[in-house]
Structure 1
Amino acid sequence: GARSFPYGVDDVEWARAHGYGGREERAAAKAREADPNQRYFRGLSASGRAAARTALMGSAPVGLSATAPTGMTITASPEGCIAEAERTLYGDLATWFRVKVVTMNLRPVRETRVHGDRQYADAVGQWAACMRAAGRPYADPDASRQAAARFGESMPPAEADAAEAELAVIEATCATGTALARVSKALDHTYGEQLRARHQEEIALRWRLQNGALATARQACEEHGCEDHGPEQADRTPNPRPSGGSHA
């Protein structure tokens, strides 16, 4: 299944089976294309799409504002279907928005701190030397991932997947054969603990609000039907959107 390797792939067996996850990403993109909501939206006129966005997210991203741990201010509208649903579930929309913005932006802060740590830079240097010795002279894991992403430009999918897996295995072998995997895990844990301690109030409040919303959510699912998206982790969420985005 899909996994995130923000500091470089460090699981050789996973790399052998999945490469960098290119196949899964293509399958997810295809599923999004087939989503009936997306098909409906794409079928609307330009004015219809604008009206649908307004109905979903409100007329303008103003009215709700919170500062993320990144320092970025994120705003959204208190109007529209998303806001109405969140107000129904969590009660105090402004409080929910604030704790959601804080908790969903802990991961990018943690990863940025790891990437900026001298120990990580030193470990990447060891990894790069290992990669050079293997005939793959990439300066860092991001460079090797970008190289893998370009395979599809010149190869058919099956060939690109095989080349991607080969490179990912070398990357993971070098990560586990040098200090990179160990240092990354240790730094990620250290910075994660620091952030969770600093923002424990928001994390706890988010879980309380989510748990308190379960009965209402179950009732809505019984009445209207719902897809099961599984449990959500407070600090395992996508990268932040800039100020002016809708609900974060």
Structure 2
Amino acid sequence: MTALGFLYPGHSAEDDYPRIEQLLGSNVRLDVVHTDIGTDAHRVDALREMGSSERLAAGVEALRLTGAEAVVWACTSGSFVYGWEGAHEQVRGLALAAGMPASSTSFAFVHAVRELEAGRVAIGATYPSDVAGLFADFLHAAGVTVTGVRGAGIITAAEVGTWGEEEVFALAREADADDAEAVLLPDTALHTAAYIPALEKELGKPVLTANQVTVWEALRLTDRRVNAPALGALFTREPIVQV
């Protein structure tokens, strides 16, 4: 049994994780520990506070008790708002506090895009445009070309958590571009685990969503590969062999 740990802010779409665990159909356990969200707002100041080392450290002890082998900070906006270098510092601090390999959803997107060899991506974000733009900047720093950004302007994770299939598909369609090789939906407050194959079929390209890539990143940290077509193209690729 491989135990994977996730620090998830508040309560919005955490039920994606038991769904993903079931879809993995393997000896993998996903343990979610909730961190204090503070002010529920997609504002830079609130997001930086949400991702502070103190708030993350508060969830680490509970995570250790689960027997987790790796931990991922399951919040995209609460990591990329620190910028490329600041997000690295955040992850390094989390790894030291937890005593295990660590990452965040922002880096999960970067690694997943590289895994798919997608050089050009489109972003469909629930966030206001300024915050969505910071995610594009983060990807640019990783060498990823962003063809366009669609921001939905939603302020709270609580509202995002109420979105269903219709809203998710509309956001993905609006974000997509002909020259994008993948579409990214970066909010972990957005329910997406049930829709990924259908989204990919409709758009005709890989779709990367926040909770999906977060779990994939935790598996990557523990050197696990799970073939799970119900979780999209990311979970069906053979490993890229570096020559």
Q: TM-score, normalised by structure 2?
A: 0.24
More helix by share: 1
Q: Which has the higher contact order (CA 8 A, sep 6+)?
A: 1
More strand by share: 2
